[in-house]
Amino acid sequence: DAKTTQPPSMDCAEGRAANLPCNHSTISGNEYVYWYRQIHSQGPQYIIHGLKNNETNEMASLIITEDRKSSTLILPHATLRDTAVYYCIVRAETSGSRLTFGEGTQLTVNP
């Protein structure tokens, strides 16, 4: 699985959009980009994933660059409950493929 690089921490004002970047320059054609978050020692929570196209669900939007070497997770209206560690994970499309968690980005949403 390709390695990912994320900033260790970010701040965001409540109600504003939070844009979390991720670099995955060695990504292969069959590798998906997944985003999970972990709120203070709880189990990780799935947010969104994508392969090539931009994706949106009720939680967030995922923007993947055309060359697929980087992506951005967008939380459109951040709330205090969005304060968490956000993990960007690149995962191969193979049987039993693991999720390789890096150190993620600590997002702090401020009132």
Partner 1 sequence: NAGVTQTPKFRILKIGQSMTLQCTQDMNHNYMYWYRQDPGMGLKLIYYSVGAGITDKGEVPNGYNVSRSTTEDFPLRLELAAPSQTSVYFCASSYSGTGAMGTQYFGPGTRLTVL
Identity of the residue, 50 or 109, whose beta carbon is nearer to partner 1 in the bound complex: 50
- State in angstroms the smallest separation of the CB of 83 from partner 1: 16
CA dihedral 32, 9, 108, 81 (to 10 degrees): 20
Interface positions, 53-92, toward partner 1 (CB under 8 A): 87, 91
- State in angstroms the smallest separation of the CB of 110 from partner 1: 22
Q: Which two tokens stand for residue 86?
A: 């956000």
Q: Which range of residues in 21-29, 45-53, 58-66, 68-76 is near partner 1 by CB under 8 A?
A: 45-53
- State in angstroms the smallest separation of the CB of 19 from partner 1: 21
